[in-house]
Each structure stands twice: as structure tokens, then as C-alpha cells.
Structure 1
Amino acid sequence: MIPVNTPLLDGNEKAYLAECIETGWISSEGPFVKRFEGEFAHAVGRQHAIACANGSGALDIAVAAAGIGPGDEVVMPTFTIISPAASVVRAGGTPVLVDCSSETWNMDVAQIERRITPATKAILVVHIYGLPVDMTGVLEIARRHNLVVIEDAAEMHGQYVHDRPCGSFGLISTFSFYPNKHVTCGEGGMVVTDDEVIAEKCRGYRNLCFQAKRRFVHEELGWNYRMTNMQAAVGLAQLEKLESHVIRKRQIGERYLNRLEGTPGIVLPPTEAEYAKSIFWVFGLLVEEGHPLSSGDVMKALGERKIGTRPFFYPMHQQPVFQKQGLFLNESYPVAETLSERGFYVPSGLGLTDSQIDEVADALKQIMASV
């Protein structure tokens, strides 16, 4: 079996975990948490980093710290994982959607301004798959309309927009450390900001809003979203190898591109924009419109060859859970719908070997030529 993701854990992970066990510091009180936070903040050019249990928790914290609540609208992409929209809805806010660009698969910045109303409080950016959002345009729109920018950089460890790292834009940015990310703790997340007041709010929301002088007296509701010392130990070891991980991911992407170029029925992923080159977090593909095989057919055929795949995100405006709440009724976003219907991604984890890449590419070419 070639899994859709194989993490690479060949640095100091074992040594740092052994230190946690030997010292007994396994909870969120351990020293690796602060070390990881400090090194991560430096890596993404932020003043403050707040480690937490997972990327979805980071979004919950960020949305709360930004003051999103009932009556507030948040402009965001429809083509994304559900977590950002879920955080807004749980806070009482209303997601207002924009379609994505067919050239980058990211939210179409040109559509943002027309979705702004007097109730708009924030723009929630989600960088998708390999290329980031054009943050220059987003920040200019936010400045003109006095809006908060929340940046979900979960998939963009080590990526840049021009010469600025993803995660350094807007009021708050968030990351995920799920196993398929360039930096993984197994599970984990991070909130980063340059605002000291916001950072302190985030620390409180992460830790049940305990108070320093009256621990069990609560003025606000928070979450138990703490990161353990063991997670942070693995994350720190991973962060030490981020540069080499980015290089390897781009090598994987380039090898796939070379092997699959010209394959009938397959559309290769976007590789660059004016402001960035793809980091190939995943290697996504589209089945050409009108091809006899659907993306589901191709994924099934690859699965029969013991090759893992995943479908593309399902758009927020089509999510049953949101439609049941009366959200996004009769809304249509054709680019996102096309990507979701025709898109999938193949194995592209850091542990993937060149021979496995070639095996996947050969299998895909055979499948597409079989009809």
C-alpha cells in the first residue's frame, strides 16, 4: 500500500520524546511547549505564538480573540475544509462566501469587495493545497474597509508570499500540525500574532480562561486546547527540518509533473503565481471535463492498485450541515463546484520515495488510457 501521506520523522523526534519521558514533563506544563512556541514565532516572523491541541482549535481561538460574534459577517472562501466556517458559525458569526480562482485554486481576491456589507467584520483567508492567496490584495481591501484579517496557513508551512512567510499576515494567523503537514506533531495547532493583547486572549481561550489570581473563577468561557510537552517536542524536531521538508515537497511535485505531463484526461495543478511558487502541500489533479472517467472512478481504480487518494474539499455552500441551518441557500460558486467534482490528490507525503512516485504516475497513466 502506498498511503496518501507518509510523515518523515528522521530528526530529533526520538531524542526529544525520550527527554520528556525521562524528566516526567509530559503535560502542557513542560518546557518544550515554550521552546516550540518561540522557535515557531521566529520562523513565521511573528512576535507571539500560542500552541494548542489542533488546527481547528487554533481557528476557534483566533475567531474568539478577533471578537467575532452574533451579527458579524466574515468573508471567506467556499472551497476549503469545514473548520474555518465551523469556527465562525459556532461563534455566532455568518460566513459570507466567495468563489475561488481557477488559476490558483485559492479564494478569488477580486470577488471579496463585492461581498462586504456594513455587517462585515473580518476576512478569513485560507491558503489551499500549494499556492497561497494573494495577500497584498487582501490586506489592501481590509485596510480600506477597516476589517480584521485572519489567516489560515494550516497548509503553508515554509511558504512565502513574495518575501513574507505565510502566517505573518493580518491580525492573527493559524497553523495545523496534522501528520500530512510539513511540520507535524501528530495532532496540534498554533495561533500567531504580533498583538500582545490578542496573544494574551489566545492564551486564556486555550486554557479554559483560568485567571492568574483566581484560577477557578471564570469571566469568560474558553476551551481545553492545550498542547502537551510531547507534542511540542515532536513539533520542535520537525521545525528544525522545515527547510529540507520544503525542498523535498517541491522535488515530489516536480517529479510528478514530469512523469504526468501530457497524460490524456488529466489536468495538472497550478505551479506558480506572480507572488509565489507552489509548495505542493498535496499533489492535486483534475479529471478533464467530458472524460469518460469521473474522479471517483480514477480514485477507485488507484485504490484497487493499493494507492491511496483523497477527494478535494467539498464547498461550504453545498455542505448539508450549513444548508440545514439556512445558510448559503441557492448560492452557486462554479469554480469551487468544478474543483470539488473533478479533483483529487495522490500520495505526496514527505516519506514518499521516488520509486513510489513513479509507481503512482504509471498507474494513473494506465488508468486514464484504459478508456
Structure 2
Amino acid sequence: MKNNKFLPLAIPDLSGNEEKYLNSCLKSSWISSKGIFIDRFEKKFAEFTGTKYAISTSNGTTALHLVLSALGCGPGDEVIVPDLTFMATANAVTYTGAKPVLADVKRDSWSINIGEIRRKISGRTRGIIAVHLYGNPADMEEILQIAGEHNLWVIEDAAEAHGAGIKIAGRWKKVGSIGIAGIFSFYGNKIITCGEGGMVTTGNRDLAEKMKILRDHGQDPLKRYYHPVVGYNYRLTNMQAAIGLAQLERINHFLKAKEKIAAGYRQKLERVRGLKFQEQNPGKKSVCWLFSMTIEPPYKLTRDQLMAVFEKNAVECRPFFHPLHTMPPYHEKKAYKEAEFLAGHGINLPSFVTITDSQIERVTEIIKHYASN
């Protein structure tokens, strides 16, 4: 079982037009926040998600802060977010002066619990952030219904879910095209990457135009160096967009490879007692960002013990996110039972698009070695 060659969690595949497009930037000298690749990347990403507008940003966190700011979110407001998500989801709300209100998730889908949303709505609630955790879409139809009943907006945090879809009113829609806006991350371990980068998608023209102004220091697009509002420097560079465009050209290839990876893990591990996978709903099309599962009895090891075994065998894995309520900025004494369980039992396995069958076999053989009889 021992193999000392390091097997990483994620490796970007940069074997397409990335180098060609980067060299084009260098030769043209357009290397900063203007250039043809920014426009092309935004246009093609809007087409991919089925939205009218896509606004590129410096990363996924700034994308979320940008849309919240453009929506006028601020002090005195509350925004409902799932307790189990990456810290940036709540932080972006906090940046505006608003308060993130935490809601527990569901044990089977790992997504925000609809009943919890209803319980957390108050007179101060402005909106809901639906996180498509680890590539599995949240229950958007129900979330939109609740939002409509209370005149709330819905933002999709699709940082981990490029290409995922959900059936709404009998029609398939891609994540990022369902709420008032969606946000995506292009960090180095995401389904597509430009090193660092983000995108906001929306069908709302006024919101898109406002975000473009706020992204560029609040500058009037028709009056250079005149700033009618306080904005931010949240722009993507032409070089980053060049990489992003090259990645986007192959996203369907990446998604098919990821689907095969997930199927391979499931097929090899489905009979191991104590391992549970994220719920697969026929009304949703999940994508495999990182293949993820929970570990519980009768499996012989705890999640942390298995991670220690992986470390000894030079296999990189990682635990699920810590629940927001367990960390100092958002600490609450209240128990969030499901988020706590998933955070204590969940693990992400190596899932890069070029992983081989033998490498998946190496990971699964370690897991099966400690299976109960």
C-alpha cells in the first residue's frame, strides 16, 4: 500500500491555449485590466451560463462583495447564509456592514435547509445566499419561492459549481442564471482557473452596469477620472482573462473528465460500509469539483485517522469546511447539528482532471484497507 510519490488534491490542466493567449498579451503589452481577453472571457462565460451579462473580478470573494454592494446591502440588513460553506460567503456580507444570519444544512445534500431559511427570516432580512456546495446545486426552486413570498433577492454562490444545472419549472438552467446574480471563483483548484479570478453573472442590466462602475473605483464610464461613488479595485487583468478564456474553451472536456472521476470513486467505494456520498437528485445536475464523502461507523477509522493514513502515504486530501458558527467572527453557542456532523466527518479526495485510473485505485485501496468486514 505504501507509495511515496506525492498525489495532490488538485492540479490545473493548462495544456490548451493558455500559453498562446498569454504570449499574445505579452507581445501586445496589454497586461493589466484592459484588453481583448477580458471582453472575450466575459462574453463567452455569459454564453456558457445562459446569462445576459458577466462581470469579471479579481477573485470570487470580491465578486460576491461586488454584487452585495451593488444591491445596496449595508448596516442594519441581514442576509441568510448556510452554516457550512467557505468563510468568504459570510465575510462578503460582513464587508458591507450587514449581518450574515446562519442556517443549518441538510445531512443528505449538504445544502442549506429550507425550513431553517424560513425560521431565520426577520424584518431585517434582505436576501439569501444559496451555496452550491462541492458542485451540488441548492434547492433553488424552493428558495426562490420563499424569496418571492418575502420580497428577498437570491444570490447563487457557485464558486465550486461551474457547469452545474437544475430544473426550474420544468426547464434546465445552469447555476449562476437562476438568482438575481451568481458568483464564480477561478482559484487554482477550481474546475476552471486563471490563478485568481472571479465572475458575477446576471440577467439584470441595471445591476450589471452598477457593478462595472463599482469594480473600477466607482469611476463614471463616460467621464474619465470622475468618481460619483466610492468603489473598489476589483478588476481582472487581461493576462488572467487570457488563461480563463483558454480554460473555458475546454470546460466541457473538464466536466466530462470530472464526471468520470466521480463515477470511478463511487463504483470502487459504494460497497464500503460507513461511507456516504452527496445526494444525487434527478432534478439536478451536479458537477464534481472535489470528490467528497462522509465517513462514519461502521468504518473502522474516523475521518481524521484516515487523513493521517493518507498523509503517511503521500496522498493529499482535505476536510470539509468548519461550520461558520464555530469560528470566532461568527461564533454562536447554538448547535447547528447537521453542519457540525458533516464538518467532522467529511473528506475531499484528489480529483484533478488528469488523474489516472491507477491513481484513483491507489486512493481507494487505502480506504478499503480499513473497511469493516
Tell me which interval the TM-score lies in, with the shorter structure as reference length.
Answer: over 0.9
Residue in 1 that maps onto 2:277: 269
Residue in 1 that maps onto 2:139: 134
SS at match of 1:268: strand
The 5-angstrom pairing of residues 9-158 of structure 1 reads 9-158=14-163
Residue in 2 that maps onto 1:200: 209
1:51-72 Cα shifts (integer Å, max 9, x gaps): 1111011011011011110111
Structure 1: how far apart are the matches of 2:282 and 2:262?
19
The 5-angstrom pairing of residues 110-259 of structure 1 reads 110-162=115-167, 163-212=172-221, 215-259=224-268
Structure 1: how far apart are the matches of 2:144 and 2:273?
40
SS at match of 1:341: helix
Q: Which amino acid aligns with 1:147?
A: L
Residue in 1 that maps onto 2:3: none
The answer to whether 1:298 aligns with 2:306 is: yes
Task: Please state how far the C-alpha of 1:289 moved relative to its aligned partner.
Answer: 4.2
Seen in structure 2, the aligned counterparts of structure 1 residues 208 and 368 have a Cα distance that, compared at 3 Å, is farther
Q: Which amino acid aligns with 1:256?
A: Y
Structure 1: how far apart are the matches of 2:279 and 2:130?
20
Contact 1:177 1:186 in 2 (8 A): yes
Structure 2: how far apart are the matches of 1:355 and 1:293?
23
Structure 2: how far apart are the matches of 1:115 and 1:141?
12
Residue in 1 that maps onto 2:325: 317
The answer to whether 1:366 aligns with 2:352 is: no
The alignment's TM-score, normalised by the length of structure 2, stands at 0.94
Unaligned runs of 5+ in 2: 1-5
Structure 2: how far apart are the matches of 1:240 and 1:36?
10
Select between 291-300 and 253-262 the one with higher mean Cα deviation.
Answer: 291-300
Task: Please state how far the C-alpha of 1:356 moved relative to its aligned partner.
Answer: 0.8
Structure 1: how far apart are the matches of 2:97 and 2:37?
35
Structure 1: how far apart are the matches of 2:25 and 2:65?
28
| RMSD over equivalenced CA pairs, Å | 1.6
* Displacement over 6 Å in runs of 4+: none
Structure 2: how far apart are the matches of 1:289 and 1:157?
33
Q: Which amino acid aligns with 1:347?
A: P
Task: Please state how far the C-alpha of 1:314 moved relative to its aligned partner.
Answer: 0.7
Select between 140-149 and 274-283 the one with higher mean Cα deviation.
Answer: 274-283
Structure 1: how far apart are the matches of 2:199 and 2:283?
25
Task: Please state how far the C-alpha of 1:357 moved relative to its aligned partner.
Answer: 0.7
Structure 1: how far apart are the matches of 2:344 and 2:224?
50
Aligned equivalent of 2:8, options 3, 18, 30: 3
1:143-193 Cα shifts (integer Å, max 9, x gaps): 111101111111111111021000001111100011222211111000111
1:178-220 Cα shifts (integer Å, max 9, x gaps): 1222211111000111111111111122111122355444333
Residue in 2 that maps onto 1:343: 346
Structure 2: how far apart are the matches of 1:336 and 1:274?
24
SS at match of 2:134: coil
Select between 109-118 and 214-223 the one with higher mean Cα deviation.
Answer: 214-223
Structure 2: how far apart are the matches of 1:64 and 1:173?
14
1:200-258 Cα shifts (integer Å, max 9, x gaps): 11112211112235544433322211111111111111111111111111100000011
Identity of aligned residues (%): 40
Structure 2: how far apart are the matches of 1:241 and 1:271?
27
Task: Please state how far the C-alpha of 1:344 moved relative to its aligned partner.
Answer: 1.1
Structure 2: how far apart are the matches of 1:133 and 1:218?
38
Unaligned runs of 5+ in 1: 324-328
Residue in 1 that maps onto 2:359: 356
The alignment's TM-score, normalised by the length of structure 1, stands at 0.94
Task: Please state how far the C-alpha of 1:19 moved relative to its aligned partner.
Answer: 1.0
Task: Please state how far the C-alpha of 1:16 moved relative to its aligned partner.
Answer: 1.0
Contact 2:278 2:293 in 1 (8 A): no
Q: How many residues are aligned here?
A: 364
1:291-346 Cα shifts (integer Å, max 9, x gaps): 553211111110110000111011111111223xxxxx322210100000111111
Task: Please state how far the C-alpha of 1:30 moved relative to its aligned partner.
Answer: 1.1
Task: Please state how far the C-alpha of 1:363 moved relative to its aligned partner.
Answer: 1.5
Structure 1: how far apart are the matches of 2:298 and 2:322?
20
Structure 1: how far apart are the matches of 2:223 and 2:50?
34
Residue in 1 that maps onto 2:333: 330
Structure 2: how far apart are the matches of 1:3 and 1:368?
23
Structure 1: how far apart are the matches of 2:343 and 2:154?
26
Select between 246-255 and 191-200 the one with higher mean Cα deviation.
Answer: 191-200
Structure 2: how far apart are the matches of 1:134 and 1:223?
32
Q: Which amino acid aligns with 2:161?
A: M
Task: Please state how far the C-alpha of 1:284 moved relative to its aligned partner.
Answer: 0.9
Contact 1:310 1:346 in 2 (8 A): yes
Structure 2: how far apart are the matches of 1:100 and 1:67?
27
Structure 2: how far apart are the matches of 1:91 and 1:281?
29
